[in-house]
Chains A and B, each alone.
Chain A
């Protein structure tokens, strides 16, 4: 099992460690998922996401290469900015969802899910021969922390000793934290204001310690999952898969109208089902794989993620539903242990700051 540079810190903090995509990762600390979730909504929490993969794509044709291989348009991405994107496969589905940063005109950093780094690298490499690009796996060079919450900016300013409030969403800046070089990006996966901090692998514990000493609560992957679901963000393997057409999801905005690999399979395909949000109005918690019924009790879809919101105490979910029933406000039901529990189609996010 692989370990992030913070493995010892997690153990010392009493984290429950689980195998996540081959990494020994904290699912929660002693504070528990609910408290960690609320810390991010009300103050600030810090996550170790060093398991995520970083791929460097550079060269004279790096931009043209990523315009063709990813769904968002890096041609519109300014130097010093990042954006959310996806990597399509040949059949109109997805290899992974990504964050892409433009470090220079011809130099990009692609951040991929830990469990998909190898397939993303393979998929990109398969196209690289046609372009003047070099792809380098820098995953073992970068530690990655996510500082998230309404107090994230104030806390990071204090720790870095510099003004960061004016840093725009998705913009990056190089900062000095405790004498260490850190690349800060104003982004995250919780729906809150926040930053992701790229650190040299071995510097990660020192930066983590400074954020914790300032009062950010260590948060595990459990809270990361409940927070992203409340915020209406997808998770690869749940909402997005190798057979998911992103044009049938609320994330269709990512797909820009330009030539890209697999476009023919994706662009014209009909959406028999759509990805929607569900708010459960009865008693029960929807979970991945649970069946969704229409008013007549006919199976019309399946839950991809579900939880009880630690913030609102409502049961929320995302689900694939027959397109004719995907309209906001449609009354459906989720089968929870053989009982049909009422639910209503609700456009995510379920929470906005």
Chain B
């Protein structure tokens, strides 16, 4: 499982970039995309939506199932990855690159520090 050290993670398998520039990019982990299998459909939030940490704000559907995606932090959606509407498989091809989902401007950037570090997330993922 590929779990970059520079990112922080949630128990629900989202990753979030360091909010150094005031914006956090969010996607799903390599572990999650592997578990889901071929992604065939993505429903993204609208730009401008105010979100709460833990709120279901997007949906990723694989061939077999639909899975909710949760906001890792409080804040506002400032961008979404429109490419995924036409190429949802980009999530499988590069969950940390072309397969990013949305960007949040967090209300409290320091909340990012409270998310899981890579090693802690790997432990969570291995528990199943």
Contact = CB atoms under 8 A, between A and B. Distances in A.
Contacts of B62: 33
A27 B36 CA distance: 11
Contacts of A225: 64
Contact of A27 (B41, B64, B92): B64
A284 B61 CA distance: 9
A222 B37 contact: yes
B30 to A, nearest CB: 14
Interface in B45-76: 59, 61-66
B43 interface: yes
A11 B24 CA distance: 38
Size bracket, chain A contacts = 10 to 19
Nearest to A31: B38
A283 B37 CA distance: 20
A33 B43 contact: no
A115 interface: no
B66 A287 contact: yes
- Residue with the greatest number of chain B CB neighbours at <10 A, chosen from A16, A32, A222, A310: A32
B91 interface: no
Interface in B61-106: 61-66, 92
A33 B66 contact: no
Interface string A309-353: 010000000000000000000000000010000000000000000
Contact of A337 (B38, B59, B63): B59
Given A32-B37, A222-B37, A310 B59 contact: no
A16 B63 contact: no
A16 B37 contact: yes
Given A285-B66, A287-B66, A337-B43, A28 B61 contact: no
B43 A28 contact: no
Interface string A260-303: 00000000000000000000000111010000000000000000
A353 to B, nearest CB: 21
A171 to B, nearest CB: 33
Given A285-B66, A287-B66, A337-B43, A308 B61 contact: yes
Contacts of B64: 27, 33, 222, 225, 307
A243 interface: no
Contact of A34 (B38, B43, B59, B61): B38
A351 to B, nearest CB: 15
A34 B66 contact: no
Contacts of A28: 37
A226 B63 contact: yes
Contacts of B40: 34, 285, 308, 310
Contacts of B92: 32
A32 B38 contact: yes
Given A222-B37, A285-B41, A33 B59 contact: no
Contacts of A283: 41
A341 to B, nearest CB: 11
A308 B63 contact: yes
Contacts of B66: 285, 287, 337
Given A33-B63, A33-B64, A337-B59, A308 B43 contact: no
Contacts of B41: 283-285, 308
Nearest to B63: A33
A183 to B, nearest CB: 32
A34 B93 CA distance: 14
Interface in A27-55: 27-28, 32-35
A16 B64 CA distance: 13
Interface of A: 16, 27-28, 32-35, 222, 225-226, 283-285, 287, 307-308, 310, 337
25 contacts: A16-B37, A27-B37, A27-B64, A28-B37, A32-B92, A33-B63, A33-B64, A35-B38, A222-B37, A222-B64, A225-B64, A283-B41, A285-B41, A285-B61, A285-B66, A287-B65, A287-B66, A307-B64, A308-B61, A308-B63, A310-B38, A310-B40, A310-B63, A337-B59, A337-B66
Shortest Cβ-Cβ A-B pairs, 9 listed: A33-B63, A308-B40, A34-B38, A32-B38, A285-B61, A33-B38, A285-B41, A33-B37, A32-B37
